[in-house]
Structure 1
Amino acid sequence: MDFRRSGWLTYAAVIMFIAAGLSTIWAINLWADAAWLTDVSNGILGGQKWLWGLVDIALAVVFFYAGRSLLEGQDFGRWVAVIAASIGILRWFYWMAFAPFLALTVVAMLFLVLYAVLVTWGDETAGRST
């Protein structure tokens, strides 16, 4: 079977891996109670940084799975990538007030993932023979 993946889809997979790494690093910072993190006690989860860390680790696992699935050419990976990127965008909008540069960067990357996956949807399956 001759399978060619679009450059946009490869980009989306790589960004999913990067997002998984950033989420893991952010979770470690939250658990370590890093001094540079601002006070989030007035936020949605209160001062429960360990709970935010669990959310980030869960997102990291989903991001990693989405990236791997996109590289393998699985259609299910597209759905996972769209859902994971959407949740990631919502999650980072919350942190925009606390870490604006990082949040804007991640949101922009995840918007491009959505674009990449949605624009190329169906391109790979059109050339496949069953």
Structure 2
Amino acid sequence: MTTADIRRDDLYRSGGAGGWRRGWTVFAGVMMIFGGAMAVLEGITAIARDDILVTSRHYVYTFNLTSWGWIHLTLGVLVALAGAALFTGALWARAVAVALAGLLMVANFLWIPYYPFWALTVIAINAFVIWALCTGGPGHDREPAG
């Protein structure tokens, strides 16, 4: 690691030029923690009381609600843990968070017939989380060579 890299990392951590990027990462982490908690509650609802949710008969992707409950419960726990790991600032945490946010987007796309408004809201939030994680970070505030 060069002296310039160390200075750049210090600037990023101190909230200087890269402070707004760090803010988006914190936002993404918080949204993932809350989104994971909501997915856990959604999963518990689908497991315990699957008669609450309305199902559509004319949807291409039809699955058992109890299995969807377990999928949402598992993904919710993993997403919340990935959101908490983002606060470490580790690159692996960003990569895992992007992958899990993408999986949660796919799961909610398939969940649309059961809870359409919420599923579309979660898809939009996860798209924004992926954007925030892919555009920010200490490696993105480097000056152009020249």
Residue number in structure 1 paired with 2:45: 29
Q: Secondary structure at the match of 1:96?
A: coil
| Correspondence 1:80 to 2:96 | yes
2:82 pairs with one of 62, 66, 74:
66
Check conservation: 1:45, 1:52, Cα contact below 8 A. Answer: no
Check conservation: 1:33, 1:49, Cα contact below 8 A. Answer: no
Q: Name the CA distance, whole Å, in 2 between partners of 1:59 and 1:99.
A: 17
Moved more, 75-84 or 56-65: 56-65
RMSD, aligned CA? 2.4
Q: Name the CA distance, whole Å, in 2 between partners of 1:124 and 1:73.
A: 13
Moved more, 48-57 or 66-75: 48-57
Superposition pairs for residues 41-120 of structure 1, below 5 Å?
44=61, 46=63, 48-120=64-136
Unaligned runs of 5+ in 1: none
Structure 1 residue 85: deviation in Å?
0.7
Q: Name the CA distance, whole Å, in 1 between partners of 2:23 and 2:135.
A: 11
CA gap of 1:34–1:49, structure 2 versus 1, over 3 A, is closer
Larger radius of gyration: 2
Q: Name the CA distance, whole Å, in 1 between partners of 2:74 and 2:51.
A: 23
| Correspondence 1:11 to 2:27 | yes
Structure 1 residue 83: deviation in Å?
0.4
Structure 1 residue 122: deviation in Å?
3.9
Q: State the Cα deviation string for residues 92-116 of structure 1 (Å, max 9, x = none).
A: 1112233121011111110010000
Q: State the Cα deviation string for residues 13-57 of structure 1 (Å, max 9, x = none).
A: 0011011111111011111224430136776463x2221111112
Structure 2 letter corresponding to 1:107: I
Q: Name the CA distance, whole Å, in 2 between partners of 1:70 and 1:111.
A: 17
Give the number of equivalent residue pairs. 125
Check conservation: 1:62, 1:80, Cα contact below 8 A. Answer: no
Q: Secondary structure at the match of 1:16?
A: helix
Q: Secondary structure at the match of 1:97?
A: coil
